[in-house]
């Protein structure tokens, strides 16, 4: 009986891993520690699964799938149609499929993605729910969404277990760049996340307009860190061409781990106005650095750290403006909140994520105890 952790999402991995690639690489690495007899596997176009090395990013011998084996997948398989089809056929060989679900946002907010993506994603979701023996989700919110979606679509939902992701920032042995050192001399607010419609950056732009024009308040610089994503409302164009905003808001591209770490450390606090999240990693990252975070009063962001995160309605500009002004003006309040966060926030490691997966596997497949290590 073999356990294979699917690393196919890393087949075109270059540079340091981010997003889903990072989840796959971090959990894969830790799972090998807690289940040393498990394999990391990469499925190629020829239909075979190969033993995969995270360290060298290379494949070696073929891993033959046999009845009773288990494949755990956590990748963006909707982007790999042939691989997805291969996973769906595993049950024909008596192989169990266990799937990590991040969210069902393309189904809930289809208008926040490019044309055609929502239908592709929903088809993947339906087929994967039907074929998965065990499900994992990255938040309680996603677990509830999965069960509700399954019920309303007459799908037998597999048992779903919450696996909280690790929220540690990757270690960096390098120093921040001179450019970032220069930009962080003066006080600033930080927002980290892909520049796309769902992340709701337009609210931050309108909040700054409200602060300046309606409240006659000059806020500190706001740095937006993230790559361009779906339907970004031309945020960069707005900033560049709005004489009211271009001296207050700036998008930072191609930020290294060292630069990101420095930005978190030196920021006054962070803001995260996303409409909906499967988790909301930048919120957790902010807390790791002891920085207050104003996040949306929505979805999984409410469960990251109750009592330690400030929340505001993602549609109400005035509420965000008032909270930002309060934290900027009241340094004692800000410092007290930072101290409270540092003393009380319980970080989650990727080790804990892998432990939870192993625990669930042993619960459903007790025979693994003799072979998992």
Task: Please state the domain extents for the chain.
Answer: 3-166+350-370, 178-344
Per CATH, the homologous superfamily of domain 178-344 is: Glycogen Phosphorylase B; (3.40.50.2000)
* pLDDT tens string 116-159: 999 999 999 999 999 999 999 999 999 999 999 999 999 999 99
* pLDDT tens string 306-332: 999 999 999 999 999 999 999 999 999
- 10 to 22, 41, 53, 107, 305: CA distances (angstroms): 9, 10, 11, 25, 30
Q: Which residue has the higher pLDDT, 6 or 167?
A: 6
- Of the candidate CATH numbers 3.40.50.2300, 3.30.70.100, 1.20.120.530, 3.40.50.2000, the domain formed by 3-166+350-370 belongs to 3.40.50.2000
Structure tokens at 206: 């309108």
pLDDT at 13: 78
Q: Is the dihedral of CA 218, 308, 281, 300 positive or negative?
A: negative
* pLDDT tens string 344-363: 999 999 999 999 999 999 99
Question: To which residue do tokens 């009845």 refer?
Answer: 67
pLDDT band at 16 (very low <50, low <70, confident <90, very high): low
Torsion angle of C-alpha atoms 252, 257, 263, 266, degrees rounded to 10: -160
Reported residue count of the chain is 373
pLDDT band at 370 (very low <50, low <70, confident <90, very high): confident
Rounded to whole angstroms, the Cα distance separating 157 from 150 reads 6
E-strand stretches of the chain: 3-6, 39-43, 49-53, 58-62, 70-73, 96-101, 134-137, 160-162, 188-192, 221-225, 249-252, 270-272, 293-296, 310-312
Rounded to whole angstroms, the Cα distance separating 244 from 205 reads 10
Residue 42's contacts (CB-CB under 8 Å, 6 or more residues apart) are 6, 7, 8, 10, 11, 49, 50, 52, 59
Q: Is the dihedral of CA 142, 148, 152, 153 positive or negative?
A: positive
* pLDDT tens string 205-253: 999 999 999 999 999 999 999 999 988 879 999 999 999 999 999 999 8
Q: What are phi and psi of 328, to 5 degrees?
A: -70, -45
| pTM of the complete model | 0.94
Yes or no: say if 47 and 86 are a contact pair by the CB < 8 Å rule: yes
Rounded to whole angstroms, the Cα distance separating 57 from 11 reads 8
372 pLDDT more than 70: no
pLDDT at 273: 98
373 pLDDT more than 70: no
**Do the domains 3-166+350-370 and 178-344 sit in the same CATH topology, yes or no?**
yes
pLDDT at 77: 96
Yes or no: say if 3 and 72 are a contact pair by the CB < 8 Å rule: yes
């Amino acid at each position: 009986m073999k356990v294979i952790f699917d690393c196919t999402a890393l087949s075109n991995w270059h540079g340091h891993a981010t997003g889903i690639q990072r989840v796959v690489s971090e959990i894969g690495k830790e799972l090998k520690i807690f289940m040393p007899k498990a394999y990391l596997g990469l499925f190629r176009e020829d239909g075979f699964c190969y033993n995969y090395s995270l360290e060298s990013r290379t494949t070696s011998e073929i891993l033959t799938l046999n009845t009773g084996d288990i494949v755990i997948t956590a990748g963006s398989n909707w982007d790999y149609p042939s691989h997805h089809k291969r996973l769906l056929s595993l049950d024909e060989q008596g192989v169990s499929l266990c799937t990590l679900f991040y969210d069902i946002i393309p189904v809930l907010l289809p208008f926040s993605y490019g044309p055609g993506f929502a239908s592709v994603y929903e088809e993947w979701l339906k087929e994967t729910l039907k074929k998965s023996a065990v499900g994992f989700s990255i938040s309680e919110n996603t677990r509830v969404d999965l069960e509700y979606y399954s019920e309303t679509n007459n799908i037998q939902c597999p048992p779903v277990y919450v696996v909280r992701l690790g929220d540690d920032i990757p270690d960096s042995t390098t120093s921040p760049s001179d450019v970032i050192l220069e930009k962080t001399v003066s006080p600033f607010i930080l927002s980290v996340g892909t520049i796309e419609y769902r992340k709701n950056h337009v609210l931050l732009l309108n909040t700054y307009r409200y602060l300046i024009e309606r409240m006659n308040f000059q806020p500190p610089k706001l740095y937006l860190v993230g790559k361009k994503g779906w339907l970004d409302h031309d945020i960069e164009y707005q900033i560049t061409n709005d004489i009211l905003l271009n001296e207050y808001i700036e998008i930072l591209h191609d930020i290294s781990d060292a630069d990101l770490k420095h930005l978190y450390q030196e920021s006054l606090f962070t803001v995260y106005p996303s409409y909906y999240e499967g988790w909301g990693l930048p919120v957790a990252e902010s807390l790791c650095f002891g920085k207050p975070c104003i996040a949306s009063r929505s979805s999984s962001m409410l469960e990251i750290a109750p009592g330690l995160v400030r929340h505001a309605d993602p549609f109400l500009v005035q509420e965000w403006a008032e909270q930002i002004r309060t934290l900027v003006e009241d340094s004692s309040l800000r410092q007290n909140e930072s101290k409270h966060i540092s003393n009380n926030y319980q970080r989650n490691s990727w080790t804990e994520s892998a432990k939870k997966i192993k625990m669930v596997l042993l619960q459903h497949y007790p025979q693994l105890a003799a072979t998992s290590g």
